């Protein structure tokens, strides 16, 4: 296995990355996902209690604390998260004035930039390689997992030695949601060369 060739993932995802969710450590259960239409992916979470809303990035780091106004004002164009004609969604619902009180609060441009930056850092494929078998899985609709979710599994998953006892390989497992349903995702990684040899999600 150590001599197996590896490749960079450069294909077009066969499924929307937004279909996959991972609630990072530190984010409260029940937090609403923030969906970016530009990348068609969930790039953060927002949790609210008693009119106070906390926005987290995909690593679970707190990015802002905001309060819901007592009276819902007209949306400030600077904070309305409509950038370059792109509407943002919170919990797959458009963040517009009529639903702010139910869905949460808008995200400032500064926080928006940080959420996007974190997502793109996780989604980049530089120095991240796949064996031929794992790359074939990335090309299949029923097996594909977005790169940022694979990387989150490695960053936050439970780490254990390769069940087949291959030296230098470790298995990472996390709980994810796909199409709203819970699954376990496992990723087998060659840590020395940062090569994914295997991944799959299952009930």
Q: Are 97 and 74 in contact (CB under 8 A)?
A: yes
The CA distance from 137 to 101, in Å, is 42
**What is the end-to-end Cα distance of the chain in Å, rounded?**
27
pTM of the model as a whole: 0.83
* Any domain includes 2: no
110 and 182, same domain (yes or no): no
Residue 151: its H or E element: helix 147-156
Give tens-digit pLDDT for 166-196.
999 999 999 999 998 999 999 999 999 999 9
DSSP 142: T
Q: Do 105 and 135 fall within a single domain?
A: no
Residues 99 and 169 in one domain: no
Domain that holds residue 37: 20-122
What is the predicted pLDDT for the residue at 143? 94
Q: What is the pLDDT of residues 46-104, one digit of tens each?
A: 998 888 889 999 999 999 998 876 654 444 433 333 332 334 444 443 333 222 233 46
- Under 8 Å between Cβ of 89 and 37: yes
**Is 153 inside a domain boundary?**
yes
The answer to whether residue 184 is domain-embedded is yes
Q: What is the pLDDT of residue 183?
A: 97
């Amino acid at each position: 296995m150590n001599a197996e060739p590896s490749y960079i993932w450069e294909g077009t995802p066969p499924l929307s990355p937004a279909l996959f969710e991972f609630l990072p450590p530190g984010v409260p259960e029940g937090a609403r996902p923030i969906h970016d239409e530009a990348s068609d992916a969930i790039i953060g979470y927002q949790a609210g209690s008693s009119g106070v809303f906390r926005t987290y990035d995909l690593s679970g780091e707190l990015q802002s604390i905001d309060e819901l106004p007592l009276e819902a004002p007209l949306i400030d164009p600077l904070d309305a998260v409509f950038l370059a004609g792109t509407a943002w969604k919170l919990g797959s619902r458009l963040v517009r004035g009529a639903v702010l009180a139910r869905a949460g609060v808008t995200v400032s441009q500064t926080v928006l930039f940080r959420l996007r930056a974190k997502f793109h850092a996780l989604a980049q494929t530089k120095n991240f390689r796949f064996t031929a078998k794992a790359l074939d899985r990335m090309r299949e609709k029923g097996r594909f997992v977005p790169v940022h979710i694979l990387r989150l599994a490695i960053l936050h998953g439970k780490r254990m030695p390769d069940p087949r006892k291959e030296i230098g390989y470790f298995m990472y497992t996390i709980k994810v949601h796909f199409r709203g349903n819970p699954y376990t995702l496992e990723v087998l990684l060659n840590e020395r060369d940062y090569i994914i040899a295997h991944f799959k999600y299952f009930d």
